[in-house]
Amino acid sequence: MSAALRLGTRGSPLALAQADLAAAALCAAGVESEVVVVSTRGDEAPAAPLAELGPGAFASALEEALLAGRVDVAVHSAKDLTGEQPAGLVLAAFLPRADPRDAWCGAAASLDAVPAGARVGTSSLRRCALLARLRPDLELVPVRGNVQTRLDRRAADGLDAVVLAACGLERIGLDREIGFRFAVDELVPEAGQGAIALQTRTGEEDGAAPADHAETRGAVLAERGVTRRLGGGCRVPVAAHAHAVAGGWRLAGWVAAPDGAAEARAEATGPDPASLVDAVVARLRAAGAERLLAEAGA
């Protein structure tokens, strides 16, 4: 009998919930596993702005543990994997995607019902830029920490709301905090948002592969294809989202100035998401994405 796969994860309640989902998916496929907690740079500096922490704030420690052989599978929020895969590692599986939308956690039931000048907590460049375009009257307040910490900041800092990923709230039983969910065309989701990725060492994919969900894999890889081709990330908000539509798929991409003053949007539809990446990237560049990236030094 083979040894149980060691699943590396961050120690936050959400990360542990995601590791449990990975373990359940592997168990359903006949694969035994156990959870190993790994501390990451993002966890060790909970007050630091994400832009200062740089890429890999949550993923790199898990990847280091994987390369060192301390774990067999790294369990990631797919949206945290913003760059190229490190040499020797591969994305072996994606679990079925949960709700990719962003959620308003406050009293209002729609953005139109949010009072003028409301104070909103988020440290995401993407969310800040999109909210600034949708409602320039809002006061955006930096907020970091795990899901419960950010929810608690509403009262502590006198905020009207915080904006979080709907899937994360659902996974830890806090979806009751959601006032409303933004449409994907209002707040374009982060590439991979809602998906859990299982990363392994190259050549050892077979252990996690039974849990792979092909539709989620196709969507997330297409989204990553758009954002990786454009760059940006920590300095320029870039996002992409793929979803099934009648007769095929729609892939949308978005790039903006950090303050939301200007943006570029593009989309394409076709039979599969991978075939749409080139068209979306070309249309974004034609719409001004290159200028926005250059101006921000990305």
Contact, 72 vs 207, CB < 8 A?
yes
| Cα 192–chain centre separation | 5
How large is the C-alpha radius of gyration of the chain? 19
Between CA 146 and CA 256 the distance in angstroms is 26
Do the strands 139-141 and 89-94 form a parallel or antiparallel pair, or are they unpaired?
unpaired
Catalytic residue among 80, 99, 102, 160: 80
Contact, 266 vs 253, CB < 8 A?
yes
Total residue length of the chain:
298
Task: Report the helix count and the strand count for the chain, using DSSP H and E.
Answer: 10, 13
Contact, 214 vs 116, CB < 8 A?
no
Contact, 239 vs 119, CB < 8 A?
no
Contact, 100 vs 194, CB < 8 A?
yes
User: Side chain identity at 15, as an amino acid letter?
Assistant: A
Residue 80 is among the residues annotated as catalytic for this protein: yes
Structure tokens at 189: 């989701």
**Residues acting as catalytic residues:** 80
